[in-house]
Amino acid sequence: MSGTRLNKYIASAGICSRRKADELIEAGAVMVNGKKVTELGYSVQPKDKVFVEGKLIHPVKHEYYRFYKPAGYITTAEDEKGRKTIYDLLPENLHHLKPVGRLDKDSTGLIILTNDGELINELTHPSAKVPKLYRVAINGKITQNDIDKMYKGIEIEPGKTAYAQVDVLEIDNKSTVMEILLHQGLNRQIRKMFAFLGFEVVSLKRIQHATITLAGLKRGDVKPIKPRQIKDLRNFLNKIAGQNA
């Protein structure tokens, strides 16, 4: 009888990625119908009851949204310092969704929101090298030497080297506007790279994450991502996963 692979079933409950689900299965943290299951290829049938770490789980309907984050909000559900978060702006019926990656308080732009744990992992895992595109303005005139350094890599922290591809859009003696492409997700990566080069970031906006863009959104807007766009996104992720294999 056909069924759903156990790791996929767990991932579909929004708990974690399939990879993490495999780890939970191997660790003996998963039970099906009262019996511990450690077989990775186990098939779950429609009437089976699956428990992860003692909690009964159910597959959930996956939801996908695009959100245009304004400046002044942090990308988290709660903040112990009492700062404003993106959930202060989001409708209450979307508070169960998680952001894919983060933007710091002063940055703006695209955040994908979803309850699809597997997709979150595919978009953010360091090995995936998923491209993210930013529009950035700095308080000075960038040089080709600076651009070359960013492409070749800058050590922004001990043992952490950041890379970026830079396309200059506007430049004068006082400022430079660029599009910057990243394949990493290091904390405050762009700001730290420019600080190393002696520049201050005046504005930073994420305009694209993989195939999903900011097009059609105003600051503070949140809109569903269309099924066709999710299909295109999955095809893109499968393609780059094959390239990175």
CB 60 within 8 A of CB 14: yes
- Given 88, 104, 148, 221, the catalytic residue: 104
Q: Do domains 4-57 and 64-126+211-244 have the same CATH topology?
A: no
Q: Which fold has domain 4-57?
A: 3.10.290
pTM of the predicted model over 0.95: no
Neighbours of 89 (CB within 10 A): 17
Tell me which amino acid residue 146 is: D
Q: Find the angle CA(126)-CA(128)-CA(132) to the nearest 5 degrees.
A: 85
CB 117 within 8 A of CB 135: no
The residues spanned by each domain of the chain are 4-57, 64-126+211-244, 131-209
Per-residue model confidence (pLDDT) at position 245: 61
Per-residue model confidence (pLDDT) at position 33: 95
**Per residue in 205-232, pLDDT tens?**
999 999 999 999 999 999 999 999 999 9
Candidate CATH numbers 3.30.70.580, 3.40.50.620, 1.10.3720.10, 3.90.180.10; the one for domain 64-126+211-244: 3.30.70.580
CB 190 within 8 A of CB 134: yes
% of the chain residues with pLDDT over 70: 99
Q: Mean pLDDT for each consecutive 10-residue tract of the chain (245 residues)?
A: 83 82 94 93 92 92 96 86 91 94 95 90 87 97 97 95 97 96 93 97 98 97 97 94 73
Active site residue 104: yes
CATH 3.30.70.1560 fits 131-209, yes or no: yes
